[in-house]
Amino acid sequence: MHEPILQDRYKHGLIASLLTMAYLQVKDILLHAEKLRTFLRGFAERHQRKASNDLLAGLFQDVKEHEKQLERCLDEFQSDDSSVSLETWIQYPGDDELEQTMTSLSAVAEQADEEVLKQLLIAEEALLRVYKQAQEQTSAQQLQELFETLIEIQDHHLRNIANCASEYGQMRHS
């Protein structure tokens, strides 16, 4: 008896979520990601200078190097006459998550190392989700390959951060 009402609510919810999805060009999505990566480079540089030990200083150096590696990867892609691919329009949920991530990172500037590491992981995971969402929304071979490369680089980087955070936690509690 309530099934038609539930189906109707589901349809309205689905339609509402589809309407809030924006279409952006790939180059604009990459610009949103670049904004967070630039923020992360500055964040890592500040925290590297005031790191309480060599492990954390090394981690923040790795974050800076990782962001430079991603930048080089994207520069290579753009120089390979792929600019037409970057003009491709795809469905994208927006950059709210990236903006919230930067706000959260700004708020942990003076907090304990564990909280800084936690928020750094959240930020890096947000970038991974951006690349995965973009890859899911495109069928162009060049873009599939680009986002697959970005996903692999980002996933490897996340594992390194998680390992470092784990090692730091063990070091602090021993």
Question: What letter would DSSP give residue 88?
Answer: -
Q: What is the pLDDT of residues 138-158, one digit of tens each?
A: 999 989 999 999 999 999 999
* Percent of the residues in the chain that have a pLDDT greater than 90, as a whole number: 44
pLDDT of residue 18: 47
Q: 134: pLDDT confidence band, cut at 50, 70 and 90?
A: very high
**Residue 67 CB contacts under 8 Å (≥ 6 apart), including other chains:** 37, 38, 40, 41, 44
